Amino acid sequence: MDNKENKSKQKLANDGLAEHEKALFCDARPQTYKPLGKYVEKFLNWARANSLWILGYGTGCGAIELRPLMTARFDMFRWGLAPRPTPRQAGVFVIGGYMSVKTLKRVIRSYEQMQGPKFVIALGSCTINGGMYWDSYNTINRLDHYLPVDIYITGCMPRPEALIAGFNKLKELIKDNKTDGQNEYANNFDWYKANQKKIVKDWNMPDYNW
């Protein structure tokens, strides 16, 4: 416990930044958050589950399956899902398919800019084990080595119905208080960072992007 507390006070090195840029960025580590009282948290989780704002990140072919959700045929708004254009306001990060090395960097940045509690839905087989890109020189294979993933939706590509089922599963998890990606990320921050830096070679951003 002591060790953990000391760790949370440590500063990040921000080695990727040039010396004159270091003062411009924050060097604090992500903090873990204790849940509020039992019933308060239950009420808030109910509200969170019924108002999911999506940051759709079209990394791969899965992005094309996100669009039909907005149309009259699938109508995701019925379940309180709504698209949001900015990571600051979004609560659910939908990774739309295979993740190349280049996009991983942007995804990390966007994920860290989202305000907690935040959730990640990974779409398609390629986020689970690489799928048809498993031996590609240019894509990562397992997404949950780099970000805490709450829901995987399999398929290549999954139909919009599968996506809706995934969102409803996520809602159940949130209501039961079974998912907390933000705290998981903060607790295992060093492990996630090490994995990410193994893949992203030109790390020219702060270690934790607020």
Partner 1 sequence: MDGLIIKIIYAFISLSVATIWGLLLGGIAMKVVARAHGRFGPPVWQPILDIIKNNARRTSISHGIMYFLGPVFRMAGGMGTFLFIPFIFGSTVFGNFSFAGDLFLVMYFIFFGQLGMALGAGESGHPYSAIGVARGLSQMTAFELPFALSIISLVIQYGTLNITEIVAAQQGGILNWTLITNPLATIAALISLQGMNMHNPFSVVIAPQEIPIGPPTEYHSNFLGLLQTNRGLFNIAKLALFMNLYFGGATNLAVMILKTFLLYMITIIIGASFPRFRTEQSIRFFLGVPTILGILAVIIVAYL
Q: Which stretch binds partner 1 (CB under 8 A): 17-25, 43-51, 128-136, 159-167?
A: 43-51
Q: Which stretch binds partner 1 (CB under 8 A): 5-13, 81-89, 97-105, 124-132?
A: 81-89
DSSP β-bridge partners for residue 83? 54
Angstrom distance (rounded) from CA 97 to CA 58 = 8
Q: Of 85, 135, 137, 201, which one interacts with partner 1 (CB under 8 A)?
A: 85
Which whole-number Å values give the CA distances from 42 to 95, 113, 160, 176, 179, in the listed order?
27, 25, 29, 8, 13
CB 65 within 8 A of CB 160: yes
Q: Which residue has the tokens 């416990």?
A: 1
Q: Which stretch binds partner 1 (CB under 8 A): 1-9, 16-24, 42-50, 141-149?
A: 42-50
- Token pair, residue 174, equals 């949130």
CB nearer to partner 1: pick between 92 and 107: 92
Quick check: 50 binds partner 1 (CB under 8 A)? yes
DSSP β-bridge partners for residue 82? 53
Angstrom distance (rounded) from CA 202 to CA 102 = 10
Cα dihedral 207, 173, 88, 56 sign: positive
Q: Of 59, 182, 189, 193, which one interacts with partner 1 (CB under 8 A)?
A: 182
CB nearer to partner 1: pick between 16 and 117: 117
CB nearer to partner 1: pick between 89 and 129: 89
Residues in the chain: 210
Quick check: 179 binds partner 1 (CB under 8 A)? no
Quick check: 47 binds partner 1 (CB under 8 A)? yes
CB 78 within 8 A of CB 174: no
**Cα 201 from chain centroid (whole Å):** 21
Quick check: 161 binds partner 1 (CB under 8 A)? no
Smallest distance from partner 1 to CB 160, Å: 14
Quick check: 191 binds partner 1 (CB under 8 A)? no
| Positions in the binding site for partner 1 (CB under 8 A) | 33, 44, 47-48, 50-51, 53, 71-72, 75, 77-78, 80, 82, 84-86, 88-89, 91, 115-117, 182, 210
